[in-house]
Amino acid sequence: MGAVVALDQLLADRTVWRGNAPARTAFPAQPTGLAALDAALPFGGWPPASLSEVLAPCDGVGELSLLWPTLARLTGAHQPVVIVAPPYLPYAPAWHLAGVALDHVLVLRADARGALWAAEQCLRSSACGAVLCWPNHASDQALRRLQVASETGQTLGFAFRSERSADNPSPAALRIQIHAKPRRVRVLKCRGANPPAQSIPLPPFALA
């Protein structure tokens, strides 16, 4: 018996899959702010210190509203949030209305390569609460680097990608797909448990 590993350790590290039993981790929970989604996920929210992938058919279907409660909570606790090379301008009035403390938001503009580099640096530095990036044409290897960087820096990483990548495997700890009509989310993969079979409705946009 060369290597004896404590079972608790294996389970805590989330390296052993345990069917449907909820995994306990050493990290505090990162609730999504959406009660139905929190209940469906094994960690009571976003997988801590990991990369989460949000897949959407196109921009503007609720991918940001899904994150806003989390971002509001993090920035409210003075944890910086970095938005790496967003596809459009994050519009300050709406983000402010959503409760995000803009003083703790940093926006980066970069080309695809620079964005990957920056996202990895931010995740690895453990100086940020969350890092948002759009690695749409990134290779599997690049995503794996982001996942490893999230783990090293113990930072929440969010990768927004097109739903076309849903069929390809991904190293992300959580994969969520957004359906636009009707607006729902479906969990494709969550490390540590079986993905829930049912999709979860998203709250409507506050339009008026």
Partner 1 sequence: MLRQRPPSPRALALLTGPAHRRTVHAINDEAAARGLRPGLSVQAAQALASDCEWAEFDPTALERDRQLVAAWAYGYSSQVSLVFADAVVLEVGQSMELFGPWPVFERRLRVELADLGFRHRIVAAPNAWAARTLANTHDGLGVEQPQLSAALGRLPVPAAGFDADVADAFTRMGLKRLAQVVAAPREAIARRFPPAVLDWIDALRGRPLPLRVYQPPSIFDRRMEFDHEIELASGLQFPLRRLIGDLAAFVRARDGGIQRFRVVFEYDRFEAATIDVGLLAPERDAVRLLDVARHRLERVALNGPVRAVQLVADDLPPFVPPSGDLFEPHAQGMLSFDQLRERLRARLGDAEVHGLATDLDHRPERAWRTQRERSEPLAALADARPAWLLQQPIPLRARVDILFGPERVESGWWDGEDVRRDYYIVETKEGQVAWVYTAAGERGPFMLHGFFA
User: CA 171 to CA 158: how far, in whole Å?
Assistant: 13
Q: Which of 120, 134, 142, 186 binds partner 1 (CB under 8 A)?
A: 120
* 128 and 81 Cβ atoms separated by less than 8 Å: yes
- Residue 90: name the closest of 112, 113, 71, 116 by CA: 71
Distance of closest approach, residue 178 Cβ to partner 1, in angstroms: 9
Distance of closest approach, residue 23 Cβ to partner 1, in angstroms: 20
Nearer to partner 1, 86 or 195 (CB): 86
Q: Which of these segments, 11-19, 23-31, 87-95, 133-141, binds partner 1 (CB under 8 A)?
A: 87-95
91-129 burial: b if 16+ Cβ within 10 Å, else e: eeeebeeeebbeebbeebeeeeeebbebbbbbbbeeebb
Q: Output DSSP code: residue 57.
A: S
Distance of closest approach, residue 193 Cβ to partner 1, in angstroms: 25
User: CA 90 to CA 52: how far, in whole Å?
Assistant: 20
Structure tokens that stand for 142 in this block = 């690049």
Q: Which of 108, 112, 166, 188 binds partner 1 (CB under 8 A)?
A: 108
Structure tokens that stand for 12 in this block = 């805590």
Nearer to partner 1, 51 or 118 (CB): 118
* 122 and 131 Cβ atoms separated by less than 8 Å: yes
Distance of closest approach, residue 82 Cβ to partner 1, in angstroms: 8
Q: Does 191 bind partner 1 (CB under 8 A)?
A: no
Which residues, other chains included, contact 208 with Cβ-Cβ below 8 Å and sequence gap of 6+? none
Q: Which of residues 36-65 bind partner 1 (CB under 8 A)?
A: 57-65
Kindly determine how many residues on this chain lie close enough to bind partner 1 according to the rule CB under 8 A: 53
Q: Output DSSP code: residue 23.
A: P
Site string for partner 1, 142-161 (x = CB under 8 A): ----------xxx-------
Site string for partner 1, 159-188 (x = CB under 8 A): --------------------xxx-x-----
Binding site for partner 1 (CB under 8 A): 57-65, 80, 86-98, 102-103, 105-110, 114, 117-118, 120-122, 124-128, 152-154, 179-181, 183, 205-208
